[in-house]
């Protein structure tokens, strides 16, 4: 019998021997098919079908428009530039933080300032950049006296996205740099290498896979970003996610929107594949191996250390300045015209905005529990159980997370507007979107943590006669609890701050704070938009503190920090 069939038979045998696993696998697949594969199939069908026939004419039609072609190249260009600049900045920060012998205090400060952009609602950066660098911005006009500075265009989007996304590169690269044993560098030093040579021949080569990974993560993040270009790109620099959004909401051309998002899907999926099959393999080789004997890190000369720290600090101060500005804008009457202190924007937030706050909290909390448990269960199955379709389950479960939100949102709109599953206009569709999109982060955390647990613990339980489910309850659950908390935290944070997918899914009955922020921005109530943003940042910060508190109580050796999970 061919090897494949033997494997299949064995896999099936194992499945049926363990009914709990068998049932979970079947149930999970049903969910994955309904909420991930079916919507994506809808986009494909709409893209390639015309009156019942397979055709490329829809794509040709959309690509015949100059604006769309421009948007495609702009998106790729922007994503590449953000990938490069964000990775360089992230590497610089990570290198300074890990290799420049920073004191604990400095290191904590860098971490805290850098995490801000990651937990902010969209538009935050866009609003504060207009406040600072607009034609009447605090910096460009009041400070530097420019009168004709043009804020709209690629330069602003590039700047805003770099500041917003470089923390992802920082978190990715910090873990890798910290994993490089200083003794390796020591060896080079003792052989007489200069610091520059050590950096070029030892440190940098070891980080290359990490750099590639960080580039891809940033590339994908920028490709998917819809909020920043919508505000800052102006009309000379169209990008795909905003074009798809305008095509659907403005021109009511769902097919056009689907085709545009399919075009967006091509580079996004390429990145996903590259990351999974090329970078990921090299990646793990470099970061395994525990740090050996503690030795002083000598990678950076003392004089350089001060300069590095200085540069990092000034960027952190820039970030803090932008957030202070956001807060300031939320407590003055009309930023730019009337700087009288007032609470009226917060009054609006807590009266008119109350419904959005309630809706968002209900959805985020429900999504958090569903998404957290969903992630832990799948993560447990794919890292601890052997069954047919294991690796395809892993790939499918990560799909919605890896693809730009605009695609997922449009796909959901297409799939769930009509029977058999007509759930547009309900909270369910938004929750489902969050669970199957951000639950993926919970899956990855769970897998990462479970891989560090010695299988012998569970085998011991099994050999003592415990059933699979008992072992799971008594042994595995306590072990995965930290993963669960991480997952809950990440799903909650993302649910509070996401917009690209859910902008298509809000309805008269269920709306979200982030959508309200966009609405307030387009109605030019920037004070209210700022107040909403401050509220979201505050809620998310409180939740992070709580989750970290829990993590400290239940902490396992080697468990990752919540902030690391936000990285990618």
Partner 1 sequence: MKTKYKLLSFLLTLTLVFSLLLSIAYAAEQTLNAYSIWPENWARPMFEEFEKATGIHVNFIRFSSGEALARVIAEKGNPKVDVLFGGPVATHIAGIAEGVFEPYKPLAFDVLADRFKDPDGYWVGISDDPLVFMSNEDFLKENNLNPPSSWYDLLDPAYEGLMQMADARTSGTAVTRIFSILEVFDRDEEKAFDYMKKLNKSIQVYTKSGGGGTIPVGLGEAGAGIFFIVDALKTQQEGYKVVVSFPKEGIGTSVEAIALIKGAKNPELGKKLIDWASSPAMQNLLSKYKINFVPAHPDVDVEPGLAKVLEGAANVFPIDSKFAGENRKRIVEKWVEEVLPQ
C-alpha distance from residue 246 to each of 28, 172, 256, 406 (Å): 35, 34, 10, 11
Instruction: Find the binding residues for partner 1 in span 18-77 (CB under 8 A).
Output: 65-67, 70
Cα atoms found within 13 Å of the Cα of residue 130, Cβ hemisphere only: 21
Binding mask 137-166 for partner 1 (x = CB under 8 A): -----------x-xxx--------------
CB of 365 to partner 1, least distance (A): 5
Only one of the segments 215-223, 246-254, 275-283, 290-298 lies at the binding site for partner 1 (rule: CB under 8 A); that segment is: 246-254
- Toward partner 1, which CB reaches closer, 191 or 508? 508
CB of 55 to partner 1, least distance (A): 21
Binding mask 217-236 for partner 1 (x = CB under 8 A): -------------x---xx-
CB of 388 to partner 1, least distance (A): 34
Instruction: Find the binding residues for partner 1 in span 343-402 (CB under 8 A).
Output: 352, 358, 361-362, 365-366
524 binds partner 1 per the rule CB under 8 A? yes
CB of 456 to partner 1, least distance (A): 22
Angle between the N-to-C axes of helices 344-351 and 526-554, in degrees from 0 to 180, rounded to the nearest 10: 70
Asked whether the CA dihedral 99, 104, 106, 112 is positive or negative, the reply is: positive
459 binds partner 1 per the rule CB under 8 A? no
For 18-65, where are the alpha helices, taking DSSP H only? Answer: 19-32, 38-48, 57-63
Taking each continuous run of H as one helix and of E as one strand, the counts in the chain are 27, 4
251 binds partner 1 per the rule CB under 8 A? yes
135 binds partner 1 per the rule CB under 8 A? yes
List all residues 6 or more positions away from 291 whose beta carbon is below 8 Å from its beta carbon: 178, 179, 181, 182
> Which regions of 337-376 does DSSP assign to beta strands (E)?
338-341
Binding mask 300-339 for partner 1 (x = CB under 8 A): ----------------------------------x-xxx-
420 binds partner 1 per the rule CB under 8 A? no
Q: Is the peptide bond before 420 cis (omega within 30 degrees of 0)?
A: yes
C-alpha distance from residue 495 to each of 59, 83, 200, 525 (Å): 32, 25, 41, 23
Considering only CA atoms, give the Rg of the chain: 25
Contact 464, 514 (CB under 8 A): no
Considering only residues 84, 188, 246, 301, which one is a binding residue for partner 1 as defined by CB under 8 A? 246
C-alpha distance from residue 561 to each of 166, 254, 487 (Å): 18, 41, 11
CB of 322 to partner 1, least distance (A): 18
Binding stretches for partner 1 (CB under 8 A): 65-67, 70, 130, 134-136, 148, 150-152, 230, 234-235, 238, 246-252, 254, 334, 336-338, 352, 358, 361-362, 365-366, 413, 417-418, 422, 424-425, 506-509, 511, 519, 522-526, 550, 553-554
């Amino acid at each position: 019998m061919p090897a494949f069939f033997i494997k299949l038979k064995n896999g099936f045998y194992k499945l049926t021997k363990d009914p709990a696993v068998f049932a979970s696998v079947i149930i999970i697949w049903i969910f994955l098919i309904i909420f991930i594969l079916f919507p994506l199939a809808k986009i494909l069908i709409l893209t390639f079908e015309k009156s019942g026939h397979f055709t490329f004419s829809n794509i040709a039609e959309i690509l015949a428009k100059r604006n769309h072609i421009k948007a495609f190249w702009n998106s790729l260009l922007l994503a590449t530039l953000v990938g490069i600049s964000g990775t360089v900045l992230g590497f610089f920060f990570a290198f300074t933080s890990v290799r420049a012998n920073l004191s604990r205090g400095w290191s904590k400060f860098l971490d805290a300032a850098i995490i801000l952009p990651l937990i902010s609602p969209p538009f935050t950066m866009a609003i504060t950049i207009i406040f600072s660098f607009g034609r009447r911005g605090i910096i460009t006009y009041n400070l530097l006296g420019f009168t004709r500075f043009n804020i709209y265009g690629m330069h602003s989007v590039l700047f805003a996205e770099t500041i917003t996304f470089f923390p992802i590169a920082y978190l990715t690269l910090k873990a890798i740099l910290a994993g490089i044993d200083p003794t390796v560098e020591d060896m080079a030093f003792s052989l007489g290498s200069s610091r520059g040579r050590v950096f070029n021949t030892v440190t940098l080569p070891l980080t290359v896979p990490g750099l590639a990974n960080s580039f891809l993560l940033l590339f994908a993040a920028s490709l998917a970003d819809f909020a920043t270009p919508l505000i800052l790109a102006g009309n000379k620099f169209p990008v795909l996610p905003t074009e798809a959004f305008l095509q659907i909401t403005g021109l009511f051309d769902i097919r056009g929107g689907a085709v545009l998002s399919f075009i967006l899907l091509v580079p996004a999926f390429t990145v996903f594949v590259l990351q999974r099959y090329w970078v990921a393999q090299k990646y793990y080789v470099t970061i395994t191996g525990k740090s050996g004997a503690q030795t002083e890190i000598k990678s950076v000369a003392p004089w350089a250390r001060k300069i590095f720290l200085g540069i990092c600090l000034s960027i952190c101060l820039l970030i803090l300045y932008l957030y202070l500005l956001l807060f300031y804008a939320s407590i003055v009457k009309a930023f730019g015209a009337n700087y009288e202190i007032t609470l009226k924007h917060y009054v609006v937030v807590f009266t008119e905005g109350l419904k959005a706050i309630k809706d968002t909290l209900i959805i985020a909390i429900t999504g958090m529990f569903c998404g957290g448990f969903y992630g832990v269960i799948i993560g447990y199955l794919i890292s601890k159980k052997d069954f047919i379709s294991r690796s395809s389950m892993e790939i499918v479960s990560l799909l919605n997370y890896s693809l730009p939100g605009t695609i997922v949102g449009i796909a959901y709109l297409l799939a769930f507007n009509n029977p058999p599953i007509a759930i547009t206009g309900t909270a369910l569709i938004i929750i489902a979107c969050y669970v199957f999109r951000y639950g993926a982060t919970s899956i990855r955390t769970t897998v990462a943590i479970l891989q560090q647990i010695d299988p012998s613990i569970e085998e011991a339980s099994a050999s003592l006669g415990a059933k699979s489910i008992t072992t799971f309850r008594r042994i595995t659950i306590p072990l995965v609890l930290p993963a669960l908390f991480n997952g809950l935290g990440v799903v909650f944070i993302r649910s509070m701050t996401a917009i690209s997918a859910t902008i298509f899914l809000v309805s008269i009955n269920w709306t979200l704070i982030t959508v309200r922020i966009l609405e307030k921005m387009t109605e030019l109530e920037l004070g209210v938009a700022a107040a909403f943003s401050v509220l979201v940042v505050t809620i998310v910060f409180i939740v992070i503190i709580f989750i970290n508190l829990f993590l400290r109580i239940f902490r396992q050796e080697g468990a990752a920090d919540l902030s690391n999970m936000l990285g990618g």
